[in-house]
């Protein structure tokens, strides 16, 4: 039985918690034993917040040992796996510390605040032989897995163009401090940058227009062109300043030589050029569930992970850093 500790019990902590409970109930040989959050007393009675609803607002945490201090938890608990759902600046040092202690780690995206830290995490995982996976959850999101399969098996030919988008209202608390979250460009837009990286490899160059709307929050509205040798026209946009009743949305449209895929309002429509269009049948499970399941199954089987590896997440952060350099110079074309 693998013992798991969860560090961070905010929005993503709640989301991960639900999935550990579900996976254990489904028979996976894991046990969540401890949860740590600075604000655990307050949070155990409160809702999760965030863009995507968790199943419940308030949970019964009586089966778990609760901590408000990470060192205290590590002193008292013998665990195999730690799941980190803390604010981004806390990811790198803690991940390296846990790997050095011989633990496997699942760490939320963005992997770190800077790519140098991300590489330090990847190198520590390599040296210690422990599993480190980064929660770039879109790689496990059914509509994006479908797209990945189409790109890989070439059923509609090569990609000629694509557009990726995500938007939301203003995020809460520390996200609006750009020195902590990196702004929308590093925190939210990174999902689509990572998807483009995952689908097509690193672009040669990028050009980004972005603006800061909320003072101090970094780039919170962003549009990037990704340039590849074959000339495909790829753009990703993100904006976390959509107020009023906007809510949250993520979409894409990808054009292949032989058809196009359009993901909108949680529905994926496939439009082959010379056949009737259809709605793709997708797993109803969220990417978060599929991601955590894959991570745990890999550890149980003693197999290395090949999706969301830290080296790949570090590469995505390098793309974002090139985008920021470009945005700082009014859209200059930057090498990645
Ligand atoms: N994969 C996704 O779709 C997704 C979505 C949202 C957030 N995230 C990422 O997850 C991470 C956390 O985001 P969130 O939305 O859950 O934030 P959050 O603010 O809701 O939760 C963070 C929690 O960490 C706790 N915390 C802070 N410092 C601590 C410390 N030293 N020790 C113990 N607890 C501490 C806070 O009290 C808070 O409860 C971020 O890196 C964010 O980018 C990923």
- Name the residue at shortest CA distance from atom 18 of ligand 1: 10
Residue 246 neighbours by CB under 8 Å, 6+ apart: 167, 168, 169
Delimit the domains of the chain by residue range: 2-137+289-309, 139-285+317-335
How many Cα atoms within 13 Å fall on the side-chain side of residue 41? 2
Question: Can you tell me which atom of ligand 1 is nearest the CA of 39?
Answer: 37
State what percent of residues in the chain have pLDDT above 70: 96
Q: What is the CATH number of domain 139-285+317-335?
A: 3.30.360.10
- CA 182 to ligand 1 centroid distance, Å: 14
Residue in 9, 10, 72, 134 to alter for ligand 1 test, most ligand atoms within 8 A of Cβ: 10
> In the prediction, which pLDDT does 243 show?
93
Q: Is the pLDDT of residue 50 over 60?
A: no
- CA 70 to ligand 1 centroid distance, Å: 14
Is residue 48 very low, low, confident or very high in pLDDT (cuts 50, 70, 90)? low
- CA 142 to ligand 1 centroid distance, Å: 24
> In the prediction, which pLDDT does 44 show?
76
Residue in 51, 57, 83, 87 to alter for ligand 1 test, most ligand atoms within 8 A of Cβ: 87
What gap in Å lies between CA 336 and CA 320, rounded to an integer? Answer: 9
Q: Who lines ligand 1 at CB under 6 A?
A: 7-13, 36-39, 43, 49-50, 70, 85-88, 90, 108-110, 135, 137, 173, 187
Q: Is the pLDDT of residue 258 over 80?
A: yes
Query: CA 31, 33, 37, 42 torsion: positive or negative?
Result: positive
- pLDDT tens per residue, range 154-186: 999 999 999 999 999 999 889 999 999 999 999
What gap in Å lies between CA 188 and CA 106, rounded to an integer? Answer: 19
CATH T-level assignment (fold) for domain 2-137+289-309: Rossmann fold (3.40.50)
CB-CB contact of 34 with 72 (8 Å): no
- pLDDT tens per residue, range 5-45: 999 999 999 999 999 999 999 999 999 999 999 999 888 77
> In the prediction, which pLDDT does 288 show?
97
- CA 38 to ligand 1 centroid distance, Å: 11
The distance between the two most distant Cα atoms of the chain, rounded to a whole number of Å, is: 63
Q: What is the mean pLDDT of the chain?
A: 95
Question: Can you tell me which atom of ligand 1 is nearest the CA of 48?
Answer: 20
């Amino acid at each position: 039985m693998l013992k798991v500790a969860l560090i961070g019990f905010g929005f993503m902590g709640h989301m991960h918690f639900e999935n550990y409970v579900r996976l254990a109930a489904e028979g996976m040989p894991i046990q969540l034993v401890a949860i740590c959050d600075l604000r655990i007393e307050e949070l155990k009675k409160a809702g999760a917040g965030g863009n995507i609803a968790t199943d419940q607002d308030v949970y019964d945490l009586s089966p778990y040992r609760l901590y408000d201090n990470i060192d205290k938890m590590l002193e008292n608990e013998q665990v195999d796996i730690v799941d980190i759902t803390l604010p981004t600046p806390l990811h790198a040092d803690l991940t390296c510390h846990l790997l050095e202690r011989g633990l496997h780690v699942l760490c939320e995206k963005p992997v770190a605040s800077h790519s140098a830290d991300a590489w330090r995490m990847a190198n520590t995982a390599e040296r210690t032989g422990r599993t480190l996976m980064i929660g770039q959850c879109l790689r496990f999101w059914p509509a994006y897995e479908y797209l990945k399969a189409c790109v890989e098996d070439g059923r509609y030919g090569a990609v000629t163009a694509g557009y990726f988008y995500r938007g939301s209202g203003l995020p809460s608390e520390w996200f609006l401090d750009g020195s902590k979250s990196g702004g929308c460009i590093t925190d939210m837009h990174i999902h689509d940058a990572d998807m483009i990286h995952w689908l097509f490899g690193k672009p040669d160059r990028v050009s980004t227009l972005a603006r800061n709307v909320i003072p101090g929050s970094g780039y919170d509205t962003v549009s990037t062109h990704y340039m590849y040798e074959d000339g495909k026209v790829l753009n990703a946009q993100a904006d976390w300043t959509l107020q009023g009743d906007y809510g949250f949305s993520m979409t894409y449209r990808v054009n292949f030589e032989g058809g196009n895929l359009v993901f909108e309002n949680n529905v994926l429509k496939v439009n082959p050029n010379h056949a009737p269009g259809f709605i793709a049948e997708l797993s109803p499970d969220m990417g978060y569930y599929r991601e955590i399941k894959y991570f745990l199954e890999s550890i149980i089987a003693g197999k290395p992970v090949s999706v969301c590896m830290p080296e790949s997440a570090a590469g995505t952060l390098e793309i974002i850093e090139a985008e920021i350099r470009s945005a700082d110079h009014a859209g200059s074309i930057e090498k990645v």
